[in-house]
Structure 1
């Protein structure tokens, strides 16, 4: 089966912290939810979302001429405490250590097929050293590649060990300042390292250039519960500017047990976390955990998509369907703030591209 580009982005309804997330500035479509459960990160909290819309949205985006640190737009959540490991010691910016070309296929050991790595200053590592690093992270294979994706570029970052969830989401910036946001990331550090992957669409970038820059998005705090709801209102709940939670029976879906296709879930409802893509703080991500009475684990996220009910774009993430409002014991709203950093002039070793993907 061909690989799908599953995607995640700014908000999410999820359950537990999972391993990997894939993202762009777009979203996941219900029909794309065939990706394995492990790929649905704590939903974007840790990470993000995507959809076919991203293919059009990705091309032609220009990098800002000013590369200053982004200005934080205050939201209501700013009055809440930070989830910092130590307020006196801010989270360190992830450090790019190595790069490699992802090779499709996983060995019986569960590890990726070996790839040769190089450093951001252009030094190619020996195969022995590359294999040693591969053993530390176990796999470079974090992107579900489609035919219209360029060969995935894997990156290994050293992250702040105080964060339990620490995805690093890269945006590729080319010399003409085009931005390419299709990316994947592991959410949970392994021995202090995080693997991320970028794979621009061929329609937006015909081939990998010899040099790129990266803008990385990374968390600056651990996840923190910012709101707990036990008396569930009928009207939508405002979480922060541009972020709303509500119940919507029209969004309730379930999978046919025989065909596994999505179908309407009659006489049920679903929890929806909605993000206004214009007004919501792009550096603050939210997760909504819905606990039903008698259940220890929250509902899983089922699908996400983009809607335009009033001419504005909203990214919604929809939970599994369930009975009715009275079945909810509590709702936890989780927040994680992020920052961005620019890494300039990174050489790409095109001669190391996998066979068949050569320039």
Structure 2
């Protein structure tokens, strides 16, 4: 894929020429004294170094642009700004935030944008500015503002997607008793990680915009452009605040989920204990009646032995005494078991 996506020189906010390559761009800039906006997509090291040599970019910034995988940040090297942005979009099916990376060099008379992913839509930004030449005439800072505004606007659908999934998790927690406990816990944890990653991308923008505002007077940034930057800052602060709230909600949801799991386990243990107690009571009753019925049998068994020489075998009161012993022993055992609450 061609690295040079869009390339133009602007004079008084209007597009005057579309150079075919980087060298032609440098020549047109010098001839017309306009502002060059060079848009690159995954450029080669040679293309980045060509731009660095032409505009005097700092080697550390060039190294970051070539390496990629940078955090959101703003650095100033003399009269040149180096900005790293993390555009994002929400993949609802996977419940993931997909991040891109955008590097922006802003200096006297030039803007260089280097994308390492499809987002953000810089073509949309360029069309917006070209339709408002009075804004584009404010210089490279106006392009930086429009890029920041587009990145922050694209955070809106991410916030909406996260909020929708958090609502679904709350429904699962409190509205569906049969929900898979492990799956819900995993979903909460995974979404928490996405929120944290999103915070890391969005939160530094607040400090970056504050730094731009503080340097506005020193670098003669147009007053109207300062107002636009304040508006972007307001949007960023709201987004960061909502992302922080999402993180708190998910942390609480994880705690609630743990509590609900513990309650369900305790309830299950209680039911099992009650069932065990009921079973024990039943065993006690059966054992008690078995003992009561066994006692007369024991006595009857003794007298049922067929021996000639047995004590009291021909005694007149032997039979009534045996019956009395059977009845007495039965009632005696009944009383003992009743006292022990086995019956």
Q: Which TM-score band (shorter chain)? A: under 0.3
Structure with greater strand share of residues: 1
The two structures have a TM-score, normalised by structure 1, of 0.18
The two structures have a TM-score, normalised by structure 2, of 0.19
- Larger CA Rg, structure 1 vs 2: 2
Structure with greater helix share of residues: 2
Q: Which has the higher contact order (CA 8 A, sep 6+)?
A: 1
